[in-house]
Amino acid sequence: SSSGDEALRDKRARILSRGLPKQKPIEGVKQVVVVASGKGGVGKSTTAVNIALALAANDSTKEVGLLDADIYGPSIPKMMNLKGNPELTSKKLMRPLKNYGIACMSMGFLIEETAPVVWRGLMVMSAVEKLLRQVDWGQLDYLVIDMPPGTGDVQLSVSQNIPIAGAVIVSTPQDVALLDARKGAEMFRKVHVPVLGLVQNMSVFQCPKCKHQTHIFGADGVRDLAKTLGLDILGDIPLHVNIRETCDSGQPVVISQPQSDAAKAYLKIAMEIVRRLPVAPA
């Protein structure tokens, strides 16, 4: 009978749901945006840092936080020019370190700068849980999470434990990076995280002397992937030495060179992200 089939479907749904953690918002955080890539080395962390700064620069009334979820290779402390250990509140929550108006938390604040993290999966998951749940973020309009590369345990854990307003996928135009970027986008779709769009990083190199432009990693590969997946391109970031130098020195280009073409590209991407986000809770 139809009622019997419906009861069976309900029972199956209950059994399946037991295996998934309940999504619980991070206290004080209105919207979470994750910045991810399938492949390492495509400039994801640089993009995450400059997007967080651009979100704040575009609207000075908004409070922005930045969470470094790359346990094995935390790079946010260096890029945001932050050192030291977080203070603890009376409730034993870690207080984020702050620079350029952005509240930051990273595994890099909890270990020595040169110490490798040699942990198995369960310890990594425990660390991610602490970074998500044991931090006093105050009141944030946006929390940008710099995800580790790939589609593994950390990505799944973050996606299944907290409500995410949207994901941004970063890739270079080369074929090897695009293969992994596609996997990243498909993973977020499987766990019901809306993909806001793709960022084409290192899109073109312009010779500083003769101004000739060279597509070192290929031209428009990310645009082609976006069409295939039915996604938007949020913007293109050029391959420019200033972007690398400013992040290495802890003075990201959005802050140190706000009138540069690179900074304007990040500011535009941040605007596109906000335009695609759902209406934030009051």
Within a domain: 11: no
Tell me: pLDDT of 276 over 60.
yes
pLDDT of 245: 87
Q: Which of residues 105 and 216 earns the better pLDDT score?
A: 105
Chain segment 168-222, per-residue pLDDT in tens: 998 877 666 777 778 888 888 888 899 999 898 876 566 666 665 665 555 666 7
222 strand-pairing partners: none
Within a domain: 14: no
Tell me: pLDDT of 28 over 90.
yes
pLDDT of 7: 72
Query: Percentage of the chain surpassing pLDDT 70?
Result: 80
Spatial distance between the Cα atoms of 139 and 66, rounded to a whole number of angstroms:
13
Is-contact 76 104, C-beta < 8 A?
yes
For residue 245, the 8-state DSSP code is: H
Selection from 260, 245, 199, 246 nearest residue 47 by Cα: 199
pLDDT of 99: 97
Which helix (H) or strand (E) element contains residue 262? Answer: helix 261-276
Which helix (H) or strand (E) element contains residue 209? Answer: none
Which residue in the block uniquely carries the two structure tokens 């206290």? 27
Within a domain: 184: yes
Within a domain: 161: yes
Domain limits at 59? 29-276
pLDDT of 270: 97
Mean pLDDT of 11-25: 64
Within a domain: 19: no
| Predicted TM-score (pTM) of this structure | 0.85
Within a domain: 15: no
Within a domain: 10: no
Within a domain: 5: no
What are the tokens at 256?
A: 């140190």
pLDDT of 206: 64
Domain count, the chain: 1
Is-contact 196 232, C-beta < 8 A?
yes
Read off the CATH number of the domain in which 156 is found. Answer: 3.40.50.300
Selection from 238, 278, 50, 276 nearest residue 144 by Cα: 50
Chain segment 129-166, per-residue pLDDT in tens: 888 889 999 999 999 999 987 767 788 888 888 999 99
Average pLDDT, the chain: 84
